Structure 1
Amino acid sequence: MFDIATSGELLAEFMAETRGQRFDATGRFHGPFPSGAPAIFASQAARMGARVAYAGRVGDDGFGDLVIARLQADGIDVAAVQRDGERPTGTAFVSYQQDGSRQFIFNLAHSAAGRQTLEDDQLERLTACRYFHVMGSSLSSPAAIGIVKRAVARVRARGGKISFDPNVRPELVGRPGVSEALLDLLARCDIFLPSDADLDWLSEPGEDIEQTAMRLMASHAMSLLVLKRAASGCVAYRGGERFEVAGLTVTEVDPTGAGDCFGGALIASLAAGRELSEALCLANAAGAHAVTVLGPMEGCSDLATLEQRLVAAGVDE
């Protein structure tokens, strides 16, 4: 049995060299980097010792080789990662703006990622897991939503837990069925990992972040909600308890993937039987470490690295 399994987009990412670089002008890009939000999550979890399985689809090309090689190097089971001989591996181009925001150009719908399927034998093997993680970015089409729903239903029937990072993206929520799928996963998850922006999207008129979190906990079956607050750390809600853990001070190089690393470290820690307070500290350290390295998966880290960061910051787990 796997500790953790996930499914979703796999892509090669290119990052603009200069902040404020425009897509309608010639510029330099770093890359390709292996990427995909669920892949970053999986890499972080696997590097911490969790047994992780992945389902996705890449092209039969050099970018696909790059992505699969990284997953395998991290110890991730890729038996359910398919190769597409007709469509290329998905790509993303990213440019950071002067205010810290990002602009993206994605090719996913018309790439191999847009034709992912999941055969019954792959589904059976993948869902033999204790935790199944869903990224909102993976709910990008009716077919992708169908794959996730099948997996979630099978994992829940087997007694596994569902963790869900809504990762709400404006370019996705307007597509048919995406908002409904996000809300459906919210109702089915055991562990919910939103950001401030995600809770803003879910808030009702007049609510602040705290009130939204408490309402969601009260109205859904989730047992744990962890609000990711980037450099400010995180706040967790479990039953009637509230845990707040301060962030670590680091020099930011590239924030891409920090939230995914946070989630991977948290779920891997819980799968390893760690107390919630310790898991939150390690998750904060993973998110902090991720932003110090250029590249979406390049900042994934092992347990020893995270423990060293916590010691250096004077944090008692």
Structure 2
Amino acid sequence: MNARIVVVGSLNLDRTYSLGRLPREGESLHATGHEVASGGKGANQAVAASLLGADVRLVGAVGADAAGTLLLDAVAASGVDVTGVRRRPDGSTGEAVIFVDDDGQNLIVISPGANATVAADDVATVDADWVLSGFEIPDEAVIAAAHHAHAADARFVLNPSPFRLIPDALRHAVDVMVVNEHELVEALGAAVDSSSDAELQQARASLSVPQLVVTLGAAGAAAVSGSGVFRAPGRAVTAVDTSGAGDAFTGALVARLAAGDALEAATVFATQVGAHAATRPGTQSSYPTSAELDRWLQG
């Protein structure tokens, strides 16, 4: 697969702490382990797509610090073109503090750092078939990504995570929106029964997007389009760490869409990649190559 994708998004240094259980309010716990690794939703999605064979370029920002160097080296080692990542001499690299319990569940706190400086001018023109962006960077950069995608006759995918109000400028600019169940409720401002095809169709219409993909955790994912609702079944796994699994899903989905798959087939594939990611610790370190995924599915 050789599909051209531009990801306009974040890069974070992930500091992951393992605990027997997640802390309660006001409680202090001792960690059983600590790791530092490359992360950030934009970088994660770019790495996931690249490892699966896609041709990916990442646009974003890091500080002129050791953390920025670590992130650029790690993402580039996964085959991603990082020439679009700016180094901010007066800023620090973004960081995420991640707590993971013995059941693989997590809590995440993000300090945006240089991600907050990504601007429309950083996006410039887009030479790609697909453009993917999300909400760990400012609205103006996301809007610019959508604008340049359409100017280049490319398709624009929005992953509005962590969720905030979707700007009006994006309302009719999104070709595919990818959300989890919580983000879908926030986007609609009302509860939705994800087991109901009719409610998912209404959700797509309310969001004014041609295609909507909703991740459903262990239940898989739903792909919603004008032709109906397709449900990709989940794969039963023993979760080790669910952090970054959603990014693995999104990167894999766009990689397959860019390779020419229909939305339904891409959603099935992405569900498998997301499940695989949950069986390993970390974010980017848990993402498979195509060969690794094949072996895992056959095992």
Same fold (TM over 0.5): yes
SS at match of 2:139: helix
- Say whether residues 1:202 and 2:204 are aligned partners: no
Q: Tell whether 2:201 aligns with 1:214.
A: yes
**Structure 2: distance between partners of 1:220 and 1:14:** 34
Which residue of 162, 170, 173 maps to 2:156? 162
Give 5+ residue unaligned stretches, structure 1: 139-143, 174-178, 313-317
Q: CA deviation at 1:273?
A: 1.4
SS at match of 1:194: strand
Amino acid in structure 2 at the alignment position of 1:167: S
Aligned partners of 2:75, 2:192: CA distance in 1, in Å? 41
1:112–1:137 distance in 2 versus 1, CA, 3 Å? closer
2:72 aligned partner: 68
Matched, 1:133 2:132: yes
Query: Which amino acid is 1:7 matched to?
Result: V
Tell me what 1:235 maps to: 222
Q: Is the 8 A contact 2:201 2:225 kept in 1?
A: no
Do the aligned partners of 1:285 and 1:309 also contact (CA within 8 Å) in 2?
Answer: no
Larger mean CA deviation between 19-28 and 285-294 belongs to: 19-28
**Amino acid in the other structure paired with 2:44:** I
TM superposition shift of 1:87: 2.1
TM-score normalised according to structure 1 size = 0.83
C-alpha RMSD of matched pairs (Å):
2.6
Match of 1:31 among 35, 40, 59: 35
Aligned partner letter, 2:298: V
Structure-2 change in CA distance of 1:237 and 1:116 (3 Å): closer
Q: Which residue of 2 aligns with 1:272?
A: 259
Structure 2 residue 122 is the aligned partner of structure 1 residue 146? no
In structure 1, C-alpha distance between the alignment counterparts of 2:269 and 2:152, rounded to whole Å: 28
Q: Which residue of 1 aligns with 2:283?
A: 296
Q: Which residue in 2 is equivalent to 1:42?
A: 46
In 2, Cα distance between equivalents of 1:73 and 1:95: 26
User: 1:235, CA displacement in angstroms?
Assistant: 1.3
CA drift at 1:46: 0.7
CA deviation string 1:132-191 (max 9, x = no partner): 1121333xxxxx21122122111112211111112244xxx3xxxxx143x653532111
Contact 2:106 / 2:241 at 8 angstroms: preserved in 1?
no
Deviation at 1:93, TM superposition (A): 1.0
Residue 297 (structure 2) aligns with: 310
> Match of 1:93, as an amino acid?
V
How far apart in 2 are the matches of 1:239 and 1:200? 20
Taking structure 2 as the reference length, what is the TM-score of the superposition? Answer: 0.88
- Equivalent position to 1:105, from 103, 109, 112: 109
- Bigger shift: 96-105 or 14-23? 96-105
The sequence identity of aligned pairs, in percent, is 26
Structure 2 gap ranges (5+): none
CA apart distance, 1:40: 0.8
| Residue identity opposite 2:229 in structure 1 | R
CA deviations 1:116-136 (Å, max 9, x no partner) are: 34547x512xx1111111213
Shift of 1:311: 3.3
Q: 1:13 aligns to what?
A: 14
